[in-house]
Amino acid sequence: MTDQKEKFGQRAGKFFKEIRLEMKKVIWPTKQQLINNTLVVFVACLAVGVVVWLADTGLGLIFSAVFGK
């Protein structure tokens, strides 16, 4: 039983040590990069929303013209 706990403790310690090492490798964006990327995401979401809205409206008009509802 203690052998399993020791193995778990060693594995957990190694896991958190590797997390710390990987976090040192991360290249964090600058404030300007973060703002630019956020704006790109908002604009892309807005564009996709408009396309979906137009498709929904257009298909709704076509279906109502075909089926007469």
pLDDT digits (tens, 9 = 90+) for 6-25: 688 888 899 999 999 999 99
User: Which residues have C-beta within 8 Å of that of residue 37, sequence separation ≥ 6?
Assistant: 29
Residue 14 is which amino acid? Answer: K
- Residue that is written with structure tokens 């076509």 in the block: 62
Range of the domain at 56: 2-67
8-state DSSP, 26: -
Based on the structure, what is the number of domains in the chain?
Answer: 1
Q: What is the pTM of this model?
A: 0.62
Helix locations, the chain, DSSP H = 2-25, 31-67
The residue with greater pLDDT, 5 or 8, is: 8
Residue among 50, 26, 29 at smallest CA distance from 38: 29
